[in-house]
Chains A and B, each alone.
Chain A
Amino acid sequence: GAVVSQHPSRVICKSGTSVKIECRSLDFQATTMFWYRQFPKKSLMLMATSNEGSKATYEQGVEKDKFLINHASLTLSTLTVTSAHPEDSSFYICSAIKQSGPNEQFFGPGTRLTVL
């Protein structure tokens, strides 16, 4: 199998605080992980590409100091939303590509962030 988990599944925080979201590949090693953002009733927008042991590559318009990505191991990538504001409220989804085998993206179940 190829299972990707995210934690937490849902988080509510106060404006100005930071929130960390974890993305884990449970049964495979992932060379690359992706972070997406999905607004209500909208499509997925790629935020950044995360490679193990190196700096993430951010898409145009995504603030790297706002959305900190760390990919410290082949099974874990984290997204930290710093100094969160209500406009950061969204559904965040990660995906991972296996280190071996076809480069198919396997998606996590998503994290619903609500900033009050």
Chain B
Amino acid sequence: AQSVTQLGSHVSVSEGALVLLRCNYSSSVPPYLFWYVQYPNQGLQLLLKYTTGATLVKGINGFEAEFKKSETSFHLTKPSAHMSDAAEYFCAVSGGGGYNKLIFGAGTRLAVHP
């Protein structure tokens, strides 16, 4: 079975500051890991994903995440926050070597202030 824990339901940063959103997972099989962003009253947009290969994954809008198997983590980072980054972020895992049946974390709301 898979599960995802996102530490911190709310994160607030200043514009231009580092963004760090934490995600830890549990999986009995090699996981596929995802980060999604959701703006108010909208669906989910894929930021980035890890399947196999390189453990540092770069996504859209300057975000990246690093898969650390030893720490069972997949934290999302962005060097410099922008006001438009304010949104809800979800980490998700799927198992069995495929994309099916995503299990989502509880989400982290990112606020960016001037």
Please report A residues at the B interface, Cβ cutoff 8 Å.
Answer: 4, 6, 32, 34, 41-46, 49, 91, 93, 95, 97, 102-105, 107-110, 112
Q: How large is the interface on B (under 10, 10 to 19, 20 to 34, 35 or more residues)?
A: 20 to 34
- The reply to whether B49 and A44 form a contact with Cβ atoms under 8 Å apart is no
- The reply to whether B43 and A105 form a contact with Cβ atoms under 8 Å apart is no
Please report B residues at the A interface, Cβ cutoff 8 Å.
Answer: 36, 41-46, 49, 90, 98-107, 109
- The reply to whether B43 and A109 form a contact with Cβ atoms under 8 Å apart is yes
Chain B contact residues: helix, strand, loop or mixed: loop
The 10 closest A-B CB pairs, nearest first, are A103-B99, A107-B43, A107-B44, A109-B43, A43-B104, A44-B104, A43-B106, A110-B43, A43-B107, A108-B43
Out of A34, A43, A91, A110, name the residue touching B90 (CB < 8 Å). Answer: A43
Q: A41-B109, A44-B44, A97-B100 are in contact. List 12 more A-B contacts (CB 8 A).
A: A4-B43, A6-B43, A34-B102, A43-B90, A43-B105, A44-B102, A93-B43, A93-B44, A105-B99, A107-B45, A110-B41, A110-B43
